[in-house]
Amino acid sequence: MTDVTKKDFRKNNDAFVYIITTYRADLFRTAMAFLKNNEEALEAIQEVTFRAYKKRKQLRDIRYVKTWLIRIMINYCNDVLKKSKRLTDDRMLEHKASVDNSKSIWLEDAIHHLKKADQELIYLKYFHGMTFPELAEQLKIPESTVKTRIYSALEKLKRQLADEGGEL
């Protein structure tokens, strides 16, 4: 990614394809975390690629291209979930049927009981490895607020998992 400049990303199709290819797995993980369906996740990648291509001139800093793409994916997934009006319990039943690891099931279930904003923070921080400063920049809130919200969400997860007999 260090080879791609902001100008390249905005004007050069090959540079855009390179960036999308580089972060395809991250986009897929994000889509799966929200949509819980392989076909919908693949469709989400296509739609996000299209949206990013249309809006690529709006990217302010090439260093945050991954964050920018993941934010587009999260927004798209939230739109899909709103339109389909799926119930969280239905998604969890489908997910539980396909997952062998009971700790993963408990963790997924506990995460889905958090507020949407807390879910996003947990996914971005722990599933995508974003740092506190990156999260603060992306969400346009102070870093201390990001830390407080994440630690609060983690405490909720710990309590929920302890109530269900699991552990974090």
For 8-36, what is each residue's pLDDT tens digit? 667 778 888 888 899 999 999 999 988 88
| Inter-residue contact 19 to 48 (CB < 8 Å) | no
For 103-119, what is each residue's pLDDT tens digit? 666 777 778 888 888 88
Say how far apart CA 99 and CA 156 lie, in whole Å: 23
How close are the terminal C-alpha atoms of the chain, in Å?
34
Average pLDDT of the chain is 80
Decide: pTM greater than 0.85. no
Quickly count: other Cβ atoms within 10 Å of residue 1's Cβ. Answer: 13
